[in-house]
Amino acid sequence: MDRVILTILGGGGFRVPLVHAALLADDEPGRVTELRLFDTDSARLGAVAAVCAEQAASRPGRLSVTTHLDLADAVRGSDFVFSAIRVGGLGARAHDETIPLRHGIIGQETVGAGGIAYALRTIPVVRRMARTIRDVAPDAWVINFTNPAGMVTEALRADLGDRVIGICDSPVGLGRRALRAAGVEHPERAELDYIGLNHLGWLRALRVDGVDVLPDLLADPERLAGFEEGRLFGAAWLRTLGALPNEYLHPYYFTRETLAADAAAARSRAQVIADQQRDFYGVPEPGAPGALARWDDVRLARERTYMATNREASGSFDRDEADLQGGGYDQVALAIVHAIAHDRPATLILNTANGSRLDELDADAVIEAPCLVDGTGVHPLPADPLPQYAVGLVTEVKSVERMTLAAAESGSRRRAWLAMACHPLVDSVAVARQVLEDLIAAEPDLGYLT
């Protein structure tokens, strides 16, 4: 492709400038030449466009950026569509986090009751978007970052099939930190053996030139204490597992501690982010000069407070400076574009259909695992069987995801209650029902559940 068009759904989102910066820095032949930003909020769209304009000032004419309020207009003729929307905004996220907590269960935006509510709001919207993409841009590849990424990717597949690829920056961050802690000097020569569902996966091996360096890392208490997952989960538990869990497994492994830290926090994560972003979106003229500096200040504050209550539950520690660069998903998205548009093979951890990789799940179940991406598409790589410690959680959470998808498809409040009650972080059927009723009352986007 000589001309590559990328459309971002959720173009007024706070992290869009990370993608734009990656595109500007891309010197590879056949890079993206046109970026379209779509959003339903014109004010947020304008604020982000102002940041992009300042980013591009040093490289004028390198990348065309346009803004759109009409979905069909934004995606028509696109080669790639990047989905990163948040239905209900931070207000709905605050409900996802605080309403479960009021009933004594963990409130987290993608895990447990909060994640189910987020999916129930989002799935009907992305299905409508998918049908528009199918009609006006049938050859486009859809790169999904909309959370909960695994469930949303599975929902999108109903209309778009294998042209949907789910991405997440959590495995990227975990791999980067593990390689750094292991002292690997050439990370490009490393192979990550990662398996699970989105926000529910494990790094089982870290092979460099065919040699697994993870056992030596797990055996070194000093190195384990030197990076986030080592401090979050503790050396003893990591050695017991013989693997490095995704950071989102912390509420499953340390449920009481996480719940106590969440309950003690003065504000939920959504409320913290809303206060931070007010300094960017809430200024009288968000498009005024200095937009890039204001955005970057807020970005750093956001990264410093990421998963703060989980770190509090594990002894209270600050994030490493190296982890404050943010993003990760932007580089994954860029690698997918290059791999498909110009047949430059890349091995990436993605959310795709299981196929025959895991015996415990059916072929259509979306899992998170390494794939080879090239000019012909996405090719899941063979995977070893799930370790015994992962089988129960993976199958149970996947069952809940399927119940949630069925509830969204049917609009059934009864099915939504079933999904909520069956989640391993929800300890009471009665509480599940009350949490669901309170969420429906608080969030207009859940009003379709009857």
Q: Are residues 12 and 135 in the same domain?
A: yes
Contact 75, 133 (CB under 8 A): yes
Q: Are residues 155 and 301 in the same domain?
A: no
Q: Are residues 162 and 50 in the same domain?
A: yes
Closest CA to 96 of 373, 436, 405: 436
Has residue 312 been placed in a domain? Answer: yes
The angle subtended at Cα 413 by Cα 412 and Cα 417, nearest 5°, is 120
Has residue 320 been placed in a domain? Answer: yes
Q: How confident is the model at residue 328 (pLDDT cuts 50, 70, 90)?
A: confident
Which CATH number do you get for residue 116? 3.40.50.720
Of 166, 201, 216, the residue that ends a domain is 166
Q: How confident is the model at residue 394 (pLDDT cuts 50, 70, 90)?
A: very high
CA atoms within 13 A on the CB side of 281: 18
Q: How confident is the model at residue 62 (pLDDT cuts 50, 70, 90)?
A: confident
Of 125, 143, 166, the residue that ends a domain is 166
Residue 202 forms beta bridges with which residues?
195, 245
Dmax (CA) of the chain: 59
pLDDT at 51: 96
Residue 165 forms beta bridges with which residues?
143
Has residue 445 been placed in a domain? Answer: no
For 284, the domain range is: 269-325
Report, as an integer, the average pLDDT of 139-157.
Answer: 97
Q: Are residues 133 and 9 in the same domain?
A: yes
Instruction: Dihedral sign for Cα 94, 95, 99, 100, please.
Output: negative
CA atoms within 13 A on the CB side of 10: 24
Per residue in 180-232, pLDDT tens? 999 999 998 999 999 999 999 999 999 999 999 999 999 999 999 999 999 99
Has residue 20 been placed in a domain? Answer: yes
Q: Are residues 279 and 133 in the same domain?
A: no
What is the rounded CA–CA span in Å between residue 436 and residue 407? 12
Contact 144, 156 (CB under 8 A): yes
Of 135, 166, 197, the residue that ends a domain is 166
Closest CA to 148 of 351, 406, 432: 351
Contact 149, 329 (CB under 8 A): no
Q: How many domains would you assign to the chain?
A: 2
Q: How far apart are the first and last CA of the chain?
A: 47
Per residue in 76-123, pLDDT tens? 999 999 999 999 999 999 999 999 999 999 999 999 999 999 999 999
Has residue 437 been placed in a domain? Answer: no
What is the rounded CA–CA span in Å between residue 312 and residue 257? 9
Q: Which residues contact 349 (CB under 8 A, 6 or more apart)?
A: 168, 171, 172, 175, 192, 194, 368, 369, 370, 371
Has residue 401 been placed in a domain? Answer: no
The three state secondary structure string of the chain is CCCEEEEEECCCCCCHHHHHHHHHHCCCCCCEEEEEEECCCHHHHHHHHHHHHHHHHHCCCCCEEEEECCHHHHHCCCCEEEECCCCCHHHHHHHHHHHHHHCCCCCCCCCHHHHHHHHHHHHHHHHHHHHHHHHHCCCCEEEECCCCHHHHHHHHHHHHHHHEEECCCHHHHHHHHHHHHCCCCCHHHEEEEEEEECCEEEEEEEEECCEECHHHHHCCHHHHCCCHHHHHHCHHHHHHHCCEECHHHHHHHCHHHHHHHHHHCCCCHHHHHHHHHHHHHCCCCCCCCCHHHHHHHHHHHHHHCCCHHHHHHCCCCCCCHHHHHCCCHHHHHHHHHHHHHHCCCEEEEEEEECCCCCCCCCCCCEEEEEEEEECCEEEECCCCCCCHHHHHHHHHHHHHHHHHHHHHHHCCHHHHHHHHHHCCCCCCHHHHHHHHHHHHHHCHHHCCCC
Residue 282 reports pLDDT greater than 90: no
Q: Are residues 161 and 283 in the same domain?
A: no
pLDDT at 289: 83
Q: Are residues 155 and 295 in the same domain?
A: no
Q: How confident is the model at residue 242 (pLDDT cuts 50, 70, 90)?
A: very high
Q: Tell me, what amino acid is at 438?
A: D
Mean pLDDT (the chain) is 93
Has residue 98 been placed in a domain? Answer: yes
Q: Report CA Rg, the chain.
A: 21
Has residue 382 been placed in a domain? Answer: no
